[in-house]
Structure 1
């Protein structure tokens, strides 16, 4: 390129004010102006931290006049260190257009999650490419079903398909609250669900309540979800290294790489190495969780996600997160943080342990439990395993 383009911070306001970024986002998608670094508009300290780490001129390896970098999405991954995912306009378009093809055509979108994360900003990208005006949920007091219902009215009044995207925690709240929020949710032609693993019990409950849920798997490096209901979008390829090996992804929706990391091994050979483990089940991709989260207890490997699925199906369990914590006898002990449906009457530990032992094996049965009012979260609805590990060790 003749002169280096700069990466400019884009403060994204929370809630319905997030729509203020649409003009800047549209210019970036058209290759006009600077590349954009979306940051939280309501957290100055976090915005400064990401700006200092990631802003500035883009190098020749980070940009191209033929396919300009439109967005750099900040992600801490599993390390806590900020990384910038270089997303080109073409990658964002490929993802958004493939989503519309899978769902049944361009439509009207409701933004219900923060738009500085990839899942939120892709809602805005899809709306721009569809030529429709999105609406956004007012989250001034957090995510509330009545606010969702109010914002949904504007989207549902328009002709054509109606779409939204949620994280499992939001879906759970809408199902539990019932009323206008759930009634509105039922009217959407598709509800994309991602950001964190979806407990099967929650998915079954949503479908039984008439909600058209589509589970998604993807990340910032793939411009958002690229595997829907276990099957890749038409632009995406999935490869596994081994029967339950690491998941690799390829396609035009892939990021260019990482900011300040021109030779990142994760992108070598045109495939993105996700760091997740998975397997094929009846022709669908089943994600087993992060390889880094694998628990080695008494010499036996235990994947947390299957344990979480068993526990989430037990009576009295609303949410659960399973992790490994240091143990002098076992090396690591399987620990489960459980949010009870009724805090005054948490489920019995022996019954939870027995359910895992029966469905999986003795090694997977949690040795420690913590009953919490809520799970600590990071990013768009992901359990904060680091915070939970500190809780167990304390």
Structure 2
């Protein structure tokens, strides 16, 4: 017997086993009226109503339904109300400019667009047959009492299109199938020990890789979702204390915010010896990993992946063999990207690029066959990341395009960033190559810091790095350009330095 996988399986199980359990605690502070607490019976009722409404609007299976929203219960429900009945859900980054949203909606051909009330002005630039504003138009989205038309699951059908986060100039629409999302959610959940006792805090934007699949995996196990609309270090600590949070996913920048908030936190640290924190987006500094484990008392887990891989490719988590090692060495080992997840194969090509094969790899880029062919050349997914793969563990050295070639030597920007971040005064750092007539590219650091000089930071690096790796130029900034998930947008940081050059390599 073979039964097709569907993302609807996760809600179906939760509704069957835990119908009266609180499933979602909605964000209380938002423009649309909060939905408060929803049971899994409520979530199923709302999802079925949304699917029936799409039937009534004539939206056929395979059609695209987009949502541009901050984290909200309405969005969590829509992952099921749209895709579990055969349509394609397109969650869009709410931080994008109007022209970028207009491009994505047009590119994917969305027939329905749902907007957060704070983004209602986007209705003026969106060309779609049906545009709704959440809260204001709830009775037009979730009021149907009809039975939704049944959909025979096709695990190879596209369930979501997730647009790349903007580290390249034009986002690409990543098509993920029901099979890929199902596999990601179950493998991720198993390896991260997700259970029906978990209380999950949505610090990660739900639009990003479908919340890394947690909207599905936590639901399937009957866990409780705590919706957080706006990331704030102190608020994260308050929610953990209030709701008994056990599990969260975030970027290193979010961890830094929590650690900063801890300095003025009064009382016991929330979640000590209870919270599992899964981190990805960029390799965090070793010192940050040590602080999370020592000062917060949270378990630190690192994963590596991309929007194109749903995202899980590798996971780094404490193992028995490391128990007797000193804390700094444990942190160093945890700082690696991790070992391949179940059913994932990893290899390096001759240039050192990390290639992957997995059931979670994208089906293709929407309406972009050339990019699809390039990404899947040789029947391997080409990540664009350089690194090493030794003793069963992947270590990310750098984005291939972020390697700085200075004086003929390759310099990993991540290695330099780690050295700078180990200085107590440094809050954020990005290292890029800038054009230089003598060296070709100059190792340049853009730093957010307090009470330290450029000379002091360079001297700090010289104690930790070879001389040619140390930054030759340091500029102080008030903030650094990042995506909504905390990933540095280095292409934006480079622009001011490379203006007038034909290419961003020298």
TM-score (norm 2): 0.67
Contact 1:375 1:383 in 2 (8 A): yes
Looking at structure 2, the residues matched to 156 and 315 of structure 1 have their Cα atoms a distance apart, in angstroms, of 31
When the two chains are superposed, the root-mean-square deviation of aligned CA atoms in Å is 2.7
- What is the 5 A alignment of 1:238-387? 238-242=346-350, 245-262=352-369, 263-280=372-389, 283-340=392-449, 342=450, 345-346=451-452, 348-387=453-492
Q: Which residue of 2 aligns with 1:60?
A: none
Looking at structure 2, the residues matched to 86 and 180 of structure 1 have their Cα atoms a distance apart, in angstroms, of 45
Contact 1:311 1:320 in 2 (8 A): yes
Max Rg structure: 2
Counterparts in 2 of 1:51 and 1:180: CA distance versus 1, 3 Å: farther
Counterparts in 2 of 1:47 and 1:125: CA distance versus 1, 3 Å: farther
1:67 aligns with 2:156: yes
1:212 to 286, 295, 299: 299
1:38 aligns with 2:102: no
The C-alpha deviation readout for 1:89-127, integer Å capped at 9, x for no partner, is 111111111112112243332111221111625221222
Counterparts in 2 of 1:104 and 1:13: CA distance versus 1, 3 Å: same
Counterparts in 2 of 1:86 and 1:391: CA distance versus 1, 3 Å: same
Contact 1:378 1:384 in 2 (8 A): yes
What are the ranges of 5 or more consecutive residues in structure 1 without an aligned counterpart? 58-63
Counterparts in 2 of 1:283 and 1:356: CA distance versus 1, 3 Å: farther
Deviation at 1:261, TM superposition (A): 2.5
1:80 aligns with 2:148: no
Contact 2:189 2:218 in 1 (8 A): no
Q: Which residue of 2 aligns with 1:164?
A: 248
More divergent stretch after superposition (265-274 vs 162-171)? 265-274
Contact 2:167 2:490 in 1 (8 A): no
Deviation at 1:150, TM superposition (A): 4.0
Looking at structure 2, the residues matched to 188 and 391 of structure 1 have their Cα atoms a distance apart, in angstroms, of 45
Looking at structure 1, the residues matched to 389 and 358 of structure 2 have their Cα atoms a distance apart, in angstroms, of 19
1:47 to 98, 101, 104: 101
SS in 1 for 2:269: helix
Counterparts in 2 of 1:175 and 1:56: CA distance versus 1, 3 Å: closer
More divergent stretch after superposition (173-182 vs 94-103)? 173-182
Looking at structure 2, the residues matched to 246 and 206 of structure 1 have their Cα atoms a distance apart, in angstroms, of 30
Q: Which residue of 1 aligns with 2:46?
A: none
Looking at structure 2, the residues matched to 19 and 153 of structure 1 have their Cα atoms a distance apart, in angstroms, of 21
Q: Choose between structure 1 and 2: higher strand proportion.
A: 1
Contact 1:145 1:181 in 2 (8 A): no
2:70 to 6, 14, 22: 14
Contact 1:123 1:164 in 2 (8 A): no
Counterparts in 2 of 1:378 and 1:145: CA distance versus 1, 3 Å: closer
Contact 1:28 1:71 in 2 (8 A): no
What are the ranges of 5 or more consecutive residues in structure 2 without an aligned counterpart? 1-58, 112-152, 317-337, 500-506
Deviation at 1:306, TM superposition (A): 0.9
- What is the 5 A alignment of 1:143-222? 143-153=231-241, 155-156=243-244, 162-178=246-262, 179=265, 183-186=269-272, 188-209=274-295, 210-222=297-309
Counterparts in 2 of 1:212 and 1:182: CA distance versus 1, 3 Å: farther
Q: Which residue of 1 aligns with 2:27?
A: none
Contact 1:174 1:182 in 2 (8 A): no
Looking at structure 2, the residues matched to 44 and 337 of structure 1 have their Cα atoms a distance apart, in angstroms, of 24
Counterparts in 2 of 1:172 and 1:380: CA distance versus 1, 3 Å: same
Counterparts in 2 of 1:40 and 1:386: CA distance versus 1, 3 Å: closer
Looking at structure 2, the residues matched to 206 and 37 of structure 1 have their Cα atoms a distance apart, in angstroms, of 34
Deviation at 1:128, TM superposition (A): 2.3
Deviation at 1:200, TM superposition (A): 1.3
Q: Which residue of 1 aligns with 2:205?
A: 114
Q: Which residue of 2 aligns with 1:98?
A: 187
Counterparts in 2 of 1:101 and 1:238: CA distance versus 1, 3 Å: same
More divergent stretch after superposition (176-185 vs 110-119)? 176-185
